[in-house]
Amino acid sequence: MQENQVNYNAEHWETLARLREEAQQMMKPLEDAHIRSIVYGSIARGDVSTTSDIDVYLPTPPSPTLITATLESAGIRYTHREIVQATPSYAAKAYIYIDELRGYSFPLVPLNPSEEDFTGFAGRVTYSQLMEDIRVPGVNKDLLFIEPNEKGHTETPIRGIEGIVAKKLGVDTRIVLQRQRTLERRSRVGRTGVYIKRELAPEESIGAVFNDLANSDSAIRRRLRKKG
């Protein structure tokens, strides 16, 4: 394996600490309301940059109205909201943005096992793990397996060790292979757009708009009938 050690300098550690503190502040209102949330990706792993985004993800969300009310009661204001479905077979998700790099997301339909494991592939941490300054392994967009250590992290290309990576992450090997194909294709041809991307007006509710979309789109209705 072509393992490479990456040592973080003081600036990197400061950026990581700042981003994690921001993530904690975003998650705290949900935690106080007993709504489970996680953050995944570079903030969970540690290989952040100054342009890293913070996506607070709610894997088993309550109603969109309750989520919005919880955030608003904590003084969190959004800039815009949208409903996105990447492909007809993927789960539709709602996104609530507080700025260009900060926001919340949650599924609007039951997830299938591969979708549930997506955040595990990238590396995910809970609010309590952030509070305890825990970092976890995961795979980045360059298909490097990131394993945190006290100096920074080691990174290893996942090609040829997909089974080992899956075992270390606690996900099915099929998830690793699926994400590998997706990211390799994206690096060759770029992003190819999404099936549905519907921005909401300020007066519109996520639930009502999603119901309208489901009434007019058979792919969404099929996903609503699935139980994962």
Mean pLDDT in residue range 103-109: 96
pTM (predicted TM-score) = 0.91
**In the structure, how many helices (H) and strands (E) does the chain have?**
10, 11
pLDDT tens sequence across 71-105: 999 999 999 999 999 888 889 999 999 999 999 99
Q: Is 227 helix (H, G, I), strand (E, B) or coil?
A: coil
- Average pLDDT of the residues in 47-51: 96
- Beta strands in the chain, from DSSP E residues, in sequence order: 4-7, 38-40, 54-57, 80-85, 93-99, 102-107, 124-126, 138-139, 144-149, 152-157, 196-199
Mean per-residue pLDDT, 152-161: 96
Q: Report the b/e string of 43-78 with b at 16+ CB within 10 A.
A: bbbbbbeeeebbbbbbbebeebeebbebbeeeebeb
State how far the Cα of 91 lies from the Cα of 93, in Å rounded to an integer: 6
| Burial of residue 202, with CB atoms counted within 10 A of its CB: 0-12 exposed, 13-18 middle, 19 or more buried | exposed
Confidence of residue 180 (pLDDT cuts 50, 70, 90): very high
Neighbours of 182 (CB within 10 A): 11
Q: For 143, which DSSP code?
A: S
In percent, the amount of the chain with pLDDT more than 70 equals: 97
Q: What angle do CA 182, 185, 189 make, to 5 degrees?
A: 135
The one-character DSSP state at 224 is H
**pLDDT value of position 116:** 83
Stretch 145-174: mean pLDDT = 96
Average model confidence (pLDDT) across the chain? 93
For the chain, which residues make up each domain, given as ranges? 4-225
Q: What is the mean pLDDT of residues 3-23?
A: 97
**Is 62 within 8 Å of 45 (Cβ atoms)?**
no
pLDDT at residue 178 above 50? yes
pLDDT of 224 reads 79
Judged against a pLDDT cut of 50, whether residue 228 lies above it is answered with: no
> Are the C-beta atoms of residues 52 and 42 closer than 8 Å to each other?
yes
